[in-house]
Structure 1
Amino acid sequence: MKRFYLIGFTLLLAFDTLNLICFKFAGTHALPVEMSTAWLARVFSYPWIYGAIVGYIGAFLTWMSLLKHAPIGPAFAASHLEVVSVMALSWWVFAEQVTTTQVIGATAIVAGIVCLAFAEGGEGVANHVVPA
């Protein structure tokens, strides 16, 4: 089951990150933003929007599969790891500034997920112990 979680959450992270990075690329290439058919045509003329759609659908299907088996608390927390991955990729790909506050926040997200994973693991073991 650990392999299922590892693969599932890695896929979820990859799809969520793909979705958000592709939306950023699509939006950047379709500037200036305006409410017109010309703008929509620009958005859909770049492949990035289709990557975003694939990422969104992939994330949705992966999330639904994970929810069948994973405990909801750690699953919900782990589903927010894309905040960290997108921040790192935005710094690397788009040369966006990352502040100390953002790094502290990303560290807190990862630490919270690790704490929840350990707590859930401890509860799982405790629930399977048969009292003497």
Structure 2
Amino acid sequence: MKRFYLIGFLLLMGFDTLAQVSFKYAGNHAIPFAVSLEWVLSVFSQPWVYGAVIGYVGAFFTWMALLKHAPIGPAFAASHLEVVSVMLLSIWLFDEHLNTARVLGAIAIIAGIVCLGMAESREHVPEPAEA
């Protein structure tokens, strides 16, 4: 079951990251914004829009599969790992910079997921049999 969780959450993080990065690229290619059919058609001619759709559809189905088995608290927390992955990819892809607040935020997200996972695993430890 641990392997299921690991693969599932890595897939979820991958799909969510794909969606967010694709939206950023699509947004960069949609400038300047205009309320017109030509602008909408130009946006939908960009492959990044479809990457975002694939990311969200993949994340939805992965999330539904995970929720069948995973406890909701740690699962919900772990579903936000894409915040960290997008932040790290943005350094490379979009020339964004790390600062103290971002690093502390990423550490807080990861620490929260670890704490929830540890609390959940303690709740499911079987009681020792009495003699």
Interval of TM-score (by shorter of Structure 1 and Structure 2):
over 0.9
Deviations 1:79-111 (A, max 9, x none): 000110001111111001222101100110001
**CA positional deviation for 1:130:** 4.9
Q: Superposition pairs for residues 74-89 of structure 1, below 5 Å?
A: 74-89=74-89
Match in the other structure for 2:127 = 129
Match of 2:7 in 1: 7
Aligned AA (2:66): L
Indicate the percent of aligned positions where both proteins have the same amino acid: 64
Aligned equivalent of 1:58: 58
Displacement after TM superposition at 1:131 (Å): 4.8
- 1:91 maps to what in 2? 91
Identify the range of structure 1 (50-59 vs 114-123) with the bigger mean alpha-carbon deviation.
114-123
Aligned to 1:110: 110
Does 1:30 pair with 2:30?
yes
Cα RMSD, aligned residues only: 1.0
What's the CA shift string for 1:17-39, capped at 9, x where partnerless? Answer: 00000010011011112222111
SS in 2 for 1:79: helix
Structure 1 unaligned residues grouped into runs of 5+: none
Distance in 1, matches of 2:114 and 2:34, equals: 42
Gap regions ≥5 residues in structure 2? none
Aligned to 2:68: 68
